[in-house]
Chains A and B, each alone.
Chain A
Amino acid sequence: MRRGQIAIALPKGRLLAEAIKLFEATGVQGLEGLAESRRLLCEDFTGAYRFLVLRPADIPTYVEYGATDMGVVGKDILLEQERDVYEPLDLKYGACRLVVARPTNLEDKGRPVGFSSLRVATKYPTLTERYFTEQGVQVEIIRLSGSIELAPLAGLCERIVDLVDTGRTLQENGLEEVEEITTATARLIVNRAALKTKYQQVRGMIERLTAAIQGGGA
Chain B
Amino acid sequence: MIPTAIPKGVRVLSPPEAARLRWVEKRLVSVFQRWGFREVLTPTFEYLEVFAHGAGDGVQGKAFKFVDRQTGLLLALRSDLTPQVARMVAATMQHHPLPLRLAYSASVFRHEEPQAGRQREFFQAGVELIGSDRPEADAEMISMAVEGCQEAGLRYFQIDVGQVEYLRGMLNALNPSPELRRKILSALRRKDTVELELTLRPLPVETRLKDGILNLTTLYGGEAVLEQAKVWAVTEQSRLALENLIQVYQVLKAYGLAEHIIIDLGETYAFDYHTGVVFQVFTESLGYPIGGGGRYDNLIGQFGYPCPATGFAFELERVLAALEAEGILPADRGPDFLIIDFNPDKRQALHIAQTLRNTGYAVARDIIQRDLEGSLDYARASAIPRAIILGLEGMPGDALTLRDLTTATETTFSIAGFCQQIKDGTLKWPM
Q: Could you tell me which A residues sit within 8 Å of B by CB distance?
A: 3, 63-67, 84-90, 190-200, 203
- B264 nearest in chain A by CB position: A196
**Tally of B interface residues using CB under 8 Å:** 26
Q: State whether the Cβ of B297 lies closer than 8 Å to any Cβ in chain A.
A: no
Q: Most chain-B Cβ atoms within 10 A of its Cβ — which of A67, A196, A199? A: A196
Partner pick for B288 among A66, A87, A89, CB 8 A cutoff: A66
Contact for B160 among A88, A90, A196, CB less than 8 A: A196
Nearest neighbor of A193 in chain B, beta-carbon distance: B282
Closest to A195 in B: B220
Query: Cα distance A199–B262 when bound, in Å?
Result: 9
Chain A residues near B262: list those with CB within 8 A. 196-197, 199
CB distance from B184 to the nearest CB of A (A): 15
Is B220 within 8 A of A193, CB to CB?
A: no
Q: A65-B287, A67-B287, A196-B282 are in contact. Are A88 and B158 (CB under 8 A)?
A: no
CA of A65 to CA of B158, assembled, Å: 17
Q: Known contacts being A65-B116, A192-B289, is A198 close to B284, with CB within 8 Å?
A: yes
Q: Is B362 an interface residue (CB 8 A)?
A: no
User: Can you report 24 A-B residue pairs in the complex whose CB atoms are below 8 A from each other?
Assistant: A63-B287, A64-B115, A65-B287, A66-B286, A84-B116, A84-B288, A86-B190, A86-B191, A86-B192, A87-B190, A88-B191, A88-B217, A90-B193, A192-B282, A193-B286, A193-B289, A195-B220, A196-B158, A196-B264, A196-B280, A196-B282, A197-B157, A198-B284, A203-B220
Q: How many A-B residue pairs have CB under 8 A?
A: 69
* Residue ID in chain B nearest A191 by CB atoms: B287
A198 to B157 Cα, complex, angstroms: 10
Is the pair A66, B221 in contact by a Cβ cutoff of 8 Å?
Answer: no
With A193-B288, A196-B282, A197-B283 known as contacts, the answer to whether A88 contacts B192 (CB < 8 A) is: yes
Docked Cα-Cα span, A21 to B194, in Å, equals 22
CA of A192 to CA of B282, assembled, Å: 9
Question: Nearest-CB distance from A211 to chain B (Å)?
Answer: 14
Asked if B156 is an interface residue, CB under 8 A from chain A, the answer is yes
Q: What 1/0 mask marks residues of chain B from 282 to 303 whose CB sits below 8 Å from any chain A CB?
A: 1111111100000000000000
B287's partner among A64, A89, A199 (CB-CB below 8 A) is: A64
- CB-CB under 8 A for A199 and B220, given A64-B116, A67-B287, A87-B192: yes
In angstroms, how far is the closest chain A Cβ from the Cβ of B264? Answer: 7
- The answer for the CA separation of A99 and B20 in the assembled complex, in Å, is 51
A192 neighbours in B (Cβ, 8 Å): 282, 287-289
Residues in A whose Cβ lies below 8 Å from that of B264: 196
Residues of chain B lying within 8 A (CB to CB) of residue A89: 193
Residues of the A chain whose Cβ atoms lie less than 8 Å from the Cβ of B217: 88
Complexed CA–CA distance, A90 and B160 (Å): 25
Most buried by B among A3, A84, A190: A84
Q: How far is the CB of B277 from chain A (nearest CB, A)?
A: 16
A residues near B280, Cβ cutoff 8 Å: 196
Question: Does A193 contact B283, Cβ atoms closer than 8 Å?
Answer: yes
